[in-house]
Amino acid sequence: MFNKIRLRDSQNFLNNKKLISDLIRESNICKDDIVLEIGGGRGIITEQLIEVCREVYVIEYDFGLYKKLKDKFSSINNIKIIYGDFLEFELPMQYKYKVFSNIPYNITAAILSKLTFADNPPDDIYIILQKEAAEKYAGKPYGGESMRSLLLKPYFKFEIIRNLKRTDFTPVPSVDSVFLHVGKRENTLVRKDKEDLYSDFIAYIFSNTGDDIKSRCKHIFSYRQFKRLSIDIGFKMTDSPTCLRFDQWLKVFQYFLIGVSDEKKKLVNNKYSRLMKEQNKIDKVYRVRK
């Protein structure tokens, strides 16, 4: 019960039907699409999605809102309203789908993790979320690259389509919000057999201590190697890791694959999984305290 109250309190509902119509038009959602909506709320987005999609699946966690949605759309054939927690919902495996949603801000990371690390991720994700979180996922050109953005960019493209006004929501939030598009790449930029190593490499760099890239990489690249990389790729050795663009990090990783000994490669082994385990422990302690 406590979790449901917290989730409901974190939700700010869009109140402008014309704005929703504009956002759907700015997406690539069309009549052939199957679309998931995470949290139907009062149905203001749902009622427009059913007009433009082949099928809409709405997952609503609040039982009161779920009942109202069931009543409101009882005569509509191309919609299925599901009562439950989206984080426990089984994503489609046999067909392509998209996501369009105004998500609860306090579970943004969990939602995007579920979608982007799914065995069958959506072709397109259109979500309304806190601007600060969107910038962390989108990285450059909206802000500095983060570990989060670099882990996902080989597989997804990010675009902040529109900034929203606080008065577009009820209740009015205390933070700025944006409309973000996350599009699955047709061709991934890291080879399948190197995906785990890429994640470990990025996690290693971002979890290391040091103010600049040189100090964080000193155990895997020699000074001479790193100086050569900085000249060839176009960054300063004194830059912070967030200063490099994704395409520059990709080139650094490609050199790591061919220019670093197997012994040094072992330094990054399982770094990502260990980091995630540590983070899960911290999250668990936080939830218990809350």
pLDDT in tens, 247-270: 999 999 999 999 999 999 999 999
Query: Is 94 found in the same domain as 152?
Result: yes
Final residue before a domain boundary, out of 161, 184, 207: 184
pLDDT of amino acid 285 = 46
Mean pLDDT across 49-62:
97
Say if residues 80 and 57 touch (Cβ distance below 8 Å).
yes
Place of tokens 């869009």: 14
Residues 230, 138, single domain; the answer is: no
Same domain, 180 and 196: no
Q: For strand 34-38 and strand 177-184, is the pairing parallel, antiparallel, or unpaired?
A: unpaired
Mark whether 64 and 170 lie in a shared domain.
Answer: yes
Q: What is the mean pLDDT of the chain?
A: 92
Same-domain status, 110 and 87: yes
Which pTM does this prediction carry?
0.91
> Could you tell me if 128 and 68 lie in one domain?
yes
CATH number at residue 66: 3.40.50.150
Q: Are residues 19 and 125 in the same domain?
A: yes
Q: What is the pLDDT of residue 1?
A: 39
Domain around 269 = 192-289
Q: What is the pLDDT of residues 65-75, one digit of tens each?
A: 999 999 999 99
For the stretch 84-137, pLDDT in tens is: 999 999 999 999 999 999 999 999 999 999 999 999 999 999 999 999 999 999
